[in-house]
Every structure is written in C-alpha cells, then in structure tokens.
Structure 1
Amino acid sequence: MRIGELARLAGVSIRSLRYYEEQGLLAPARTPAGYRIYADGDIERVARIQLLYAAGMRSSCIADVLGCVNGDGTEAYAEPAPDLIAGLIPVRERIVRQIAELGDSLTVLDRILGAARGPLDVTRT
C-alpha cells in the first residue's frame, strides 16, 4: 500500500510516517519511481509505535523495542539486550506511576460527577 493509504488506515499523518522512516522505525520498500510501498503488517507496527510514543519513549528506544517484537502477528518477543532492559525499567516505573495518578484523577472525577448527578455507572464510558 502507498503512504496515503497507510496513513488513513493507521490514523496518523503522512508526515508522521515520514518521520518514523527517518528515525528507522519504518522501512518501506520503494518502487522504481521512488514511491514508498508498505506491507499490511505496517498498520500494526504504526499502532505500536504510537503506543510507545504515547508512553513517553524516545524514537531511539522505540527502535530497540521494535527489534524485540516479531512482525509475524504473533505475540512472540525476542530476548532484549541487557542495556535495553536497564533502560526500560525506569520507563516501566514511570508508566506505573502515571497509571496510579490517572486512577486517582478518575476517582476524583467520579466523586464530583456522582455528587452532581447521583451514583455514576463507571462501567460505561
């Protein structure tokens, strides 16, 4: 698929896809005319890149993490290098803290909404 189709299917901008390529996160094939051609698996790869960026990871770390993920659609992972593990531990700790803080924020909002409207059904979003 071409870059516009991947952007549409993955819900990202063409500019983002070009940036991911510059950072070594995506490696599309090229036609003789120079057009980028992406594989179907790149949709999932872009989604994973987006998740890792949202988690606050830098592109160099994301590239290392993606190197541990098999691109065959399975949940199999390669063993990471020891220096990658050491770098991911503080990232994981930060994410755990953020989850806890978001949970606290949600509790406050639920209490405010509950006080305004009565008991809140938190199973619906």
Structure 2
Amino acid sequence: MADLEQVIPETPERVTLDIEAARAAAEEALSLQLGTTTRVQIEAMTDRLTGHIRSALAELPRDAPGRPAPTRKEAAALLAAARTGAALAHSAYHAMRDLAFVLRHLAGRCEKERAADGASGSAGGPPGSLTHG
C-alpha cells in the first residue's frame, strides 16, 4: 500500500476543495458509459478526479498516527494506482468510477468538517487559500 505522505504531501498553504466542482466531476465521471467513452476521456477524467481527491485529503484533518481512516487508505491506494498506462480500458474505466465514488464521500466529509468548524465559531481559511478545481 502507498505511503499516505507520498501520495498526499504536506503543504504550507491551506488547500481547500471546491465541493460543488468536485461533486460535479464525480457525477460526470459516473455518467460516462463504458463503450462510448474513449481512453483519452477516461484518463482526463481520472486526472480531474485525482486533483479533487488530493485537495480533499489535504483539507481534511489527519487521522491518528498509524491508523488512517478506511476512506483515506482507500483513496491513497486508488491514487497510487490511478495512472497505470498499461491497464486495459475496461480496468481504467472502473478505476475512474472508484475514484468518483471516493470523491463523493470525501466531498461529504469536507462539507461536514466545514459545517462543524462554522458551528464552533472558527473562521474559514486564511486569505489566499488555494482552491483546486
């Protein structure tokens, strides 16, 4: 399994997920049909999903040392395996769908974390926060 720190490096900037763009990307990926979607489209969508997932994982609080949450481990494994150029189109398509399902979940977690932060009275991200989309 991939080391989470290699897949999701620490950054000095606060990275935030554009939740609406992430959800739209996940829904678009899930609407693509095997047989009518080209390999190029699958790879482009995989890159897009991967960017959103990295942003979500950078935004979410770290889990307890040595015990990442199951979704975080699954996301890291999917990110590590996302670019296997030799994979068949069928495999690449299903890997893209797996990424879309994980992104949906992570977007929900980000939304809940922000709501909890808002309820506790903390302000949003610092000025100049990055938004990946």
Relative to the length of structure 2, the TM-score reads: 0.33
Q: Could you state the TM-score of these two structures normalised by the residue count of structure 1? A: 0.34
